[in-house]
A and B are shown apart, each in its own frame.
Chain A
Amino acid sequence: MNLSPPSSTRPGSAVQRPGLRLEVAEKLRLDSGVTLGPFTIAYSTYGNLNAERSNAILICHALTGDQYVAEPHPITGKPGWWDILVGPGKVLDTDRYFLICPNVLGGCMGSTGPGEIDPATGKPWGLTFPVYTIADMVRAQVKLIDHLGIEQLFCVTGGSMGGMQVLEWASAYPERVFAAVPIASAARHSAQNIAFHEVGRQAIMADPDWCGGNYQQQGRNPARGLAVARMAAHITYLSEQALHRKFGRNLQDRNALGFSFDADFQVENYLRHQGISFVERFDANSYLYMTRACDYFDLAAEHGGVLANAFKGTRTRFCVISFTSDWLYPTAENRQIVHALNAAAANVSFVEVETDKGHDAFLLDEPEFHATLRGFLDGCAQHRGLKAG
């Protein structure tokens, strides 16, 4: 295969990461029983916190996202991943709301993770970093919200793995979440999703440059493995219709089949590009840990097998959003959340947005989705007594 790594060193290690950092001195007790700390949370904010501290929206990023929601990415230079939604006058209106997005615990854009130096050894954590869960990510975020002096978040939102964090927030800290918007998500990771993640992890671990997780110390980078993991995952973010509409069976820079294993088809070329550009900005070990955190997520299991118990007595206002062509976190999984919220007599809205763009629709220009989110937030802002932007 033709996936040459862009560099032999760990991605982004020489790049200055702009934004804010919170050093948390306390130790965090993780679900695994291990304690971690002190630790760092890197984060970005947009807009201003009002005097009542009542207009804060926490954005939880997805598996391969980061805190650069609405600003150019420091490594790729590309616009923020939710630029389409975040800004003055946009749905997540920075004139009205104070937006916070932390890099998750275990991430690779400045928060403490396997790529950072373990102060105990002076060496990169690598696989000695403790396995953490979605709940651990949220525990770390709570420290940040405490630090910012915010008693109750106006809203917690995010798509995919971000949606899992939203559900965890609403379940574990109901009094601190006025409104919750889990998007294209699930209350537990399905067997199919675990299976896809395992393919990605095996691709990374099969790369000789992974070096049993010690690639940083060896001055190497399992870029080929990580690229393959990204390629496989990227297919799951799209839909058959979207792939067909975009590429069909069109050939790449040629008029006839090449009778070789070059990228004959546009779709191959596209995936290779996705793989190669991903490794520029993402750490392979972080990918292992984060996919694991998703796999371990099962909110019902944490509550005696009954999902509704996770939301007992909640006063949070929920809006669950799914997309018709999302087969990674299909509507049925989102509907399970809705049914559980109904059983808890929670205040919930649920919208399934018609689109052929698959799971990635939550990142894209989907007017119906944006109108729904805007309407829901406006309604909540009214109830919360927030002034119009």
Chain B
Amino acid sequence: MDARNLTRNFAAPPELRGDLRLAAEMIEPGSRVLDIGCGDGELLSYLTRHKDVDGRGMELSQSGVNACVRHGLSVIQGDADNDLADYPTGAFDYVVLSQTLQATRNPRQVLLHLARIGKRAIVSIPNFGHWRIRASLLIQGRLPKTALLPFPWYETPNIHLCTIQDFATLCAEEGIRIERSISLDRWGRPYRLNPVGALANLLAEQGLFLLARR
């Protein structure tokens, strides 16, 4: 199952989903981009059209890959856990992983690959520290279902959830520098908060990070 496809419908932006739009803004024109979990190629085709990017994609779902290739995008069938090891270090200017890290088997390893393959990595995650999620557990005693995490516990593809602060801690431990971070609401609109502060960790539904190796 591709987590990104499943969360995609909730944002419904005019052209690009909120976190993808912000990711696109971080990408310099004319650069080399690898979009992991590229779905039907929404971000890639936007970047190709508007930013003259040399874009590649990776996507788990067969229908997504075929749709991309049919539209002339360079996309392979594969997933972040199994198909990143072969890429050479620094092969891309940007590697994008949007709303997918929590669905990987080994997020730490994936994160290291992202930081290795890309000169920069752009990662967005759903924030498990959001107050609704905390409230669901605290008050109702139930695992939460939210717009970004809509599945019941027994069939969720999101097996490695973390909070914004958990993510920032992992980056620090692995020597990955957070160059920029933005906290977002569920529609991908940015909050004006310290993006890795305690308040953002409580109020933001997503975090978006621009990462680089130290």
- Given A352-B62, A376-B69, the answer on whether A347 and B74 have CB atoms closer than 8 Å is yes
Q: Is the CB of B88 within 8 A of A350?
A: no
Known: A351-B77, A352-B77. A339 touches B71 (CB 8 A): no
Place the interface of chain B in its size category: 20 to 34
Task: Name the segment of A107-115, A119-127, A219-227, A367-375 touching the other chain.
Answer: A367-375
How many Å lie between the Cα of A382 and that of B86 in the bound state?
29
Q: Does B75 contact A (CB under 8 A)?
A: yes
What is the 8 Å Cβ interface bit string for chain A, positions 357-381, against chain B (1 contact, 0 not)?
0000000000010011011101110
Docked CA distance A350–B91 (Å)? 18
Contact (Cβ within 8 A) A375 B70: yes
Binary flags per residue of B33-75, CB closer than 8 Å to A gives 1, else 0: 0000000000000000000001010000010011011111111
In whole angstroms, what is the CA distance A339 to B83 when docked?
A: 7
Contact yes or no, A375 B69, CB < 8 A: yes
A317 touches B70 (CB 8 A): no
Closest CB of chain A to B80's CB: distance in Å?
Answer: 13
Cross-chain contact of A317 among B74, B86, B88, B91 (Cβ < 8 A) = B74
Query: Which residues of B from 104 to 137 have beta carbons under 8 Å from A?
Result: none
B176 at the interface (CB under 8 A from A): no
Alpha-carbon gap, A343 to B86, bound state (A): 5
- With both chains docked as a complex, state the minimum distance between the C-beta of B87 and any C-beta of chain A, in angstroms: 5
Residues of B within 8 A of A335 (CB): 78
**Quick check: B69 and A308 within 8 Å, CB to CB?**
no
Q: How far is the CA of A34 from the CA of B173 in the complex (A)?
A: 60
A338: CB under 8 A from chain B? yes
Q: Does A342 contact B (CB under 8 A)?
A: yes
> Which residue of the partner chain B has the closest CB to A381?
B72
B23 close to A (CB within 8 Å): no
Residues of A within 8 A of B (CB): 308, 317, 319-320, 335, 338-340, 342-345, 347-354, 368, 371-372, 374-376, 378-380, 382
Additional A-B contact list (16), CB under 8 Å, known A349-B65, A351-B69, A371-B66: A339-B83, A343-B86, A343-B87, A343-B88, A345-B88, A349-B68, A349-B75, A349-B76, A350-B75, A350-B76, A351-B62, A351-B77, A368-B66, A375-B69, A376-B69, A379-B71
